[in-house]
Structure formats: structure tokens, C-alpha cells
Structure 1
Amino acid sequence: MKVRNSIRSVKNQPGSQVVRRRGKTYVINKLNPRLKTRQG
């Protein structure tokens, strides 16, 4: 799956992790929980 630019910008924040679950791409951030995103 191509990762959207909006997810790339969130991924570069400190504490972010890119996780693939059930075919969807998620970005989770324990330091700043507002930065949760999903693609797919």
C-alpha cells in the first residue's frame, strides 16, 4: 500500500510508530495521542 503524504508528515513526529493491522496502515503515538491516523 502506498503511504499518503499526510501520514508521512505524522510519522516524522517524535514518538510515532507506523503499524500495519488487518491490511490498514495506522500511525500511533504514545507521546502525543492526537496524532493517531489511519489509511485504508
Structure 2
Amino acid sequence: MFLTPVSPPASNAAEIPLEFHAFRVQKPLRGVSMKVLSSLKSAKTRHRDCKVVRRRGKVFVICKSNPRFKARQR
């Protein structure tokens, strides 16, 4: 994640020092990351909505209801 400064309103921008400005968190360009596993046997049983799919020659576990369970086979 990257931090970028967010400027305050223009009226008091000159009065506030830079170290007091709020910071906004930017998401990485590639999107939500996923686990890379050598075996997806345990990954497909983590959640009831997890599905095993094959895309671009790789095997993925996708879970639309809870994206933290996404995984890809090594």
C-alpha cells in the first residue's frame, strides 16, 4: 500500500504544516492479492462458497462471498 498526502481545503492550506496533513491509502495496481499454494486441497474446503476453476493454464480457488480465500496453485 502506498501513502499519498491529501491536501486540506484551500482556505487554510498555507497555515497547516505538511506533517499534519491527512494521508490517504492507495490500493496496489494489481488488486487484491491471493495465496499461492502448492496444493489447493485444503484451500477449497475453507469456505462453502469456494470453487476450483482453471484459467490460463493455472488452477485457482475463487470465493465471491469472501475474497480473502482466493488462492492459486504454484
TM-score (norm 2): 0.43
For residues 1-40 of structure 1, give each alpha carbon's deviation from its aligned partner in whole angstroms, at most 9, with x where no partner exists: xx71xx2112012100100011100000011100110114
Q: 2:50 aligns with which of 5, 16, 34?
A: 16
The whole-number CA distance in structure 1 between the counterparts of 2:43 and 2:63 is 9
RMSD (Å), alpha carbons: 1.5
The residue type equivalent to 1:26 in the other structure is F
| Paired positions, count | 36
Q: Which runs of 4+ in 1 moved over 4 A?
A: none
Matched residue, 1:37? 71
Unmatched segments (≥5 aa) in structure 1 = none
Unmatched segments (≥5 aa) in structure 2 = 1-37
Q: Which has the higher contact order (CA 8 A, sep 6+)?
A: 1
Q: Which has the larger radius of gyration?
A: 2
